[in-house]
Amino acid sequence: MGDIYLDNNATTMVDPAVVEAMLPFFTEQFGNPSSLHSFGNQVGRALKHARRQVQELLGAEHDSEIIFTSCGTESDSTAILSALKAQPARREIITTVVEHPAVLTLCEQLEKEGYTVHRLGVDERGRLDLDEYRGLLSDQVAVVSVMWANNESGTLFPVKEMAEMASAAGVMFHTDAVQAVGKLPIDLKSTAIDMLSLSGHKLHAPKGIGVLYLRRGTRFRPLLRGGHQERGRRAGTENAASIVALGKAAEMALEHMAYENVEVRAMRDRLEQGILAVVPNAFVTGNPDDRLPNTANIAFEYIEGESILLLLNKVGIAASSGSACTSGSLEPSHVMRAMGIPYTAAHGTVRFSLSRYNTMDEIERVIEAVPPVVAQLRKLSPYWADGAPVQDPEKAFAPTYA
Amino acid sequence: MWDYSEKVKDYFFNPKNAGAVEEANAVGEVGSISCGDALRLTLKVDPETEVIQNAGFQTFGCGSAIASSSALTEIIKGMTVDDALKVTNQDIADFLEGLPPEKMHCSVMGREALQAAVANYRGEEWSDDHEEGALVCKCFAIDAVMIEETVRANGLRTVEDVTNYTKAGGGCASCHEGIEEILTKVLAEQGETFQAEPVKQPAKEAAAASAAGGMTTLQRIRRIERVIESIRPQLQADHGDVELIDVDGPTVYVKMTGACSGCQMASMTLGGIQQRLMEDLGEFIKVVPASQPQAARAGG
């Protein structure tokens, strides 16, 4: 029995068909797409095709709205910094407390440089308060940057509605859709979204390739200036092989959209239901009614995530956790804290993220494997005794906290 | 995932002394709720001899927290209470054949639980005086609180000062931005502004760089000596020291003395010295402890 990979929100396997599509661009078709000769010329055509494939996945109106970048982070930085540079009089940014570090850390830095950052909070299910959002929109705001789907809980934000609201207030709208693209049907031309970031390696393309979607007419200032690549909006020789790969992956994602939302969702639901039926003191975090079809984030109370992952890894199951220890920080995931999940549960969150390569057999094996792991660790936990949490855990075990 | 030693993995997968000891007469409970570690240590101490007859742990925490709790119980079983109190964090880490720098706080927790348990046994109050911040310098495992307090207590003003007092920033140097931020914050509290050290003297640097290729052996060794001299005060601050023994082509032999000899951080310190030498000389340098070549020569 092979190992089971349930960490697809971290990264995905490159589809063999995608590898096959990209390989010739290392050897036979190595030319620079900017060159006039036949070596470059063919590559240029391949890039054009890839751009159309991505355009189709995103439902963009024009293929020139697709700018290839090196990764999701670059796309996020480009979008936010562009909005600030293009509108120097506007000194405010609206984002949320649960964004990916690609956006949060940049915003922290911008704050130090004198910008005002508004971070929308979330409720216990990870939902935003749109009235609060409406109140913040003004002609001082340069850009709104809100993720489409949360990487940890899978919870979706109403970005289409929020983009409309921003548009009505004359404010640019960017969404980090790294987790959403390929898992949800997207049709940008029917939305008011001005900019969108995506990352290839989240949808079975290789690492090192991303896209910034830039709606035609959106004022833009490049992050990297230099050559004329990407119509002067992102200088630097094109990563041709990976762009071709992303194009192929985008095409395949579109073909599998129904599968993702029916079959993968069914596996995810079975996984959750199977684990929660057997393991006490465990619950799903985020908003179960409105989230990605592939993500299950389960909090196991009174045990710690890294320990769970190590034991799961030993039986060949790969997942991830929002515990402090897995990241080397001292605090558990900012997403879990923002939702007000108590520390004794936040440290025990495990994210299972599926892909179309998982099978129901694998899911059944995980459902078998998880309960003994949880039981083993609870046996060691000072918060747990005789198969249940100790009576009034906060009082029965009251350590002196460092 | 973390690079845990085999022994850490073994103590995590097959922990010894898990669970509470029956008829315990010493109980210590400590934890750090935000970082997700909590530990209850139960001991059975012979009131006549004060020997710890049995020890058990219950831990809510990560792999290395569980492993270091278990290791602690193994170490202290059979010790007298007084001897057990002499067990250091480093002893726990050494017993486990090392812990990643981010995980050293896991062994701190074990030691604190032990102090709390002994206080409980003796009917004393134990209060925790240890505060922990986010890890800034990964090379030497120095956290933000430690740097802040050292900056405040000693009126430090530059990154170099911080390195001299705490070692933070003395290795790979990638945390210098973080150290500057702490300096900016603390100096601002005192109504001062942090001023970055001037960019390295351009004339001297440029001349040095061009000379690097054309140095005589003597010049080169003197230069190596100078770099090592500049590192010594940091090590001496920690009651350690380093001495240049020999230079053989790209290999520089040094002797670590005092607290540095046998210190678990010694290999990191060597790495730090090597990095500084390479940056200064602009060539590849390998720093090796002096005992190794001697052994090699004896063998060869």
Q: Give the one of A310, A314, A343 whose C-beta lies nearest to B36's C-beta.
A: A343
Substitution target in A341, A378, A401 with the highest count of B β-carbons within 10 Å is: A401
Q: Is residue B262's pLDDT more than 70?
A: no
Residues of chain B with CATH 1.10.10.1100: 135-189
pLDDT at residue B292 is higher than 70: no
CATH code, residues B202-299: 3.30.300.130
Spatial CA neighbour of A251 closest among A38, A55, A16: A55
What per-residue confidence (pLDDT) applies to B114? 92
CB A176 within 8 A of CB A102: yes
Is residue B62 predicted with pLDDT exceeding 70?
A: yes
Q: Taking CA A127 as the corner, what is the angle to CA A124 and CA A131, rounded to the nearest 5 degrees? A: 120
Residues in chain A where the model's pLDDT stays below 70: 1, 324-330, 392-396, 398, 400-402
Chain A residue with Cα closest to B2: A326
Hey, are the CB atoms on B60 and A323 less than 8 Å from each other? Answer: no
Q: Check CB contact of B133 with chain A, cutoff 8 Å.
A: yes
Sequence ranges of chain B with CATH classification 3.30.300.130: 202-299
* Residues of B labelled as active-site residues: 35, 106
Please report the residues numbered 41 through 60 in chain B whose beta carbons come closer than 8 angstroms to any beta carbon of chain A: 57-60
Nearest Cβ partner for A328 among B30, B128, B135: B135
Strands A195-199 and A210-214 come out as: antiparallel
Contact between A18 and A204 under an 8 Å Cβ cutoff? The reply is yes
For chain A, give every residue range classified as CATH 3.90.1150.10.
257-385
CATH, domain A16-255, list 3.40.640.10, 3.30.1370.60, 1.10.10.10, 3.40.50.300: 3.40.640.10
Distance of CA B237 to the CA centre of its chain: 14
All residues of chain B having their beta carbon less than 8 Å from the beta carbon of residue A306 are 62-63
The residues facing A132 across adjacent strands are none
Residues pairing with B243 in the sheet: B255
What is the band of B216 on the pLDDT scale with cuts at 50, 70, 90?
confident
What's the average model confidence in pLDDT over B236-256?
85
Of A306, A379, A400, the CB nearest to B62: A306
The predicted complex's ipTM stands at 0.82
Which residues 185-214 on chain B approach chain A with CB closer than 8 angstroms? none
Q: Å from B64 to nearest chain A CA?
A: 9
pLDDT tens for B161-215 read 999 888 899 888 899 999 999 999 999 998 989 988 766 555 554 445 444 456 7
Among the partner residues A307, A381, A398, nearest to B62 by beta-carbon distance: A307
Chain B residues with beta carbon closer than 8 angstroms to that of A307: 12, 61-63, 66
In chain A, CATH 3.40.640.10 covers: 16-255
Q: Are A249 and A200 in contact (CB under 8 A)?
A: yes
Contact B163, B183 (CB under 8 A): no
Closest-CA residue of chain B to A328:
B102
Q: Kindly report the number of other CB atoms within 10 A of residue A365's CB atom.
A: 16
Q: What is the SS3 assignment for B151? A: helix
Is A402 close to B13, i.e. CB distance below 8 A?
no
Q: Tell me whether B144 touches chain A (CB under 8 Å).
A: no
Q: Quick one: closest CA in A to B34, which residue?
A: A331
Contacts of A40 by beta carbon, 8 Å cutoff, 6+ apart:
A31, A32, A33, A34
Secondary-structure percent of chain A, ordered helix, strand, coil, rounded to 5: 45, 15, 40
Q: Which CATH number fits domain A257-385: 3.40.50.300, 1.10.1270.20, 3.90.1150.10, 3.40.50.1220?
A: 3.90.1150.10
Residue span(s) of chain B under CATH 3.90.1010.10 come to 6-121
- pLDDT surpassing 60 at residue B281: yes
pLDDT of residue B206: 47
B63, B6 contact by CB (below 8 A): no
CA distances from A136 to A89, A117, A193, A330 (A): 17, 11, 18, 32
- Flag if B36 and A332 touch (Cβ within 8 Å): yes
The band of B41, judged by pLDDT with boundaries at 50, 70 and 90, is: very high
Q: B32 touching A, CB under 8 A?
A: yes
Check residue B297 and give its pLDDT: 43
Find tokens 């934890």 and name the residue.
B31
If interface means Cβ-Cβ distance under 8 Å, which residues of chain A face chain B?
302-307, 309-311, 313-314, 323-326, 328-332, 343-344, 346-347, 379-383, 397-402
- Shortest CA gap A311–chain B (Å): 8
Q: What is the pTM of this model?
A: 0.81
Collect all residues of chain A within an 8 Å Cβ-Cβ radius of residue B125. none
- The beta-carbon neighbor of A325 closest among B36, B40, B131 is B36
Residue B293: what pLDDT? 45
Q: Closest to A382 (Cβ–Cβ): which among B35, B60, B62?
A: B60
Look up residue B249 and give its two tokens.
């082509």
Search chain A and give the residue with CA nearest B135: A329
Query: Which of B5, B60, B104 is the mutation pick for testing A, counting most A CBs within 10 A?
Result: B60
Catalytic residue among A325, A369, A375, A390: A325
DSSP state of A357: T
* Whole-number pLDDT of residue B294: 46
Q: What is the pLDDT of residue A268?
A: 98
Contacts of B90 (CB under 8 A, 6+ apart): B107, B264
Query: Residue B33: which of A310, A329, A343 has the nearest Cβ?
Result: A343
CB-based burial label for A241 (10 Å; 0-12, 13-18, 19+): buried
Answer yes or no: do A383 and B63 touch at CB < 8 A. Answer: no
A107 is an active site residue:
no
Cβ contacts from A onto B, under 8 A: 117
Beta strands in A35-171 (DSSP E): 66-69, 92-96, 116-120, 141-145
Give yes or no for B40 touching A (CB within 8 A): yes
Q: For domain B6-121, give the fold.
A: Sufe protein. Chain: A (3.90.1010)
What pLDDT is stored for residue B37 in this prediction? 81
Contacts of B89 (CB under 8 A, 6+ apart): B104, B107, B108, B110, B111
Kindly list the residues from chain B whose CB atom is less than 8 angstroms away from the CB atom of residue A319. none
Hey, are the CB atoms on B62 and A314 less than 8 Å from each other?
Answer: no
Is the Cβ of B114 closer than 8 Å to some Cβ of chain A? no
CB atoms within 10 A of CB A142: 25
Residues from chain A contacting residue B57 (CB–CB below 8 Å):
380
Q: Which CATH class is domain B135-189?
A: mainly alpha
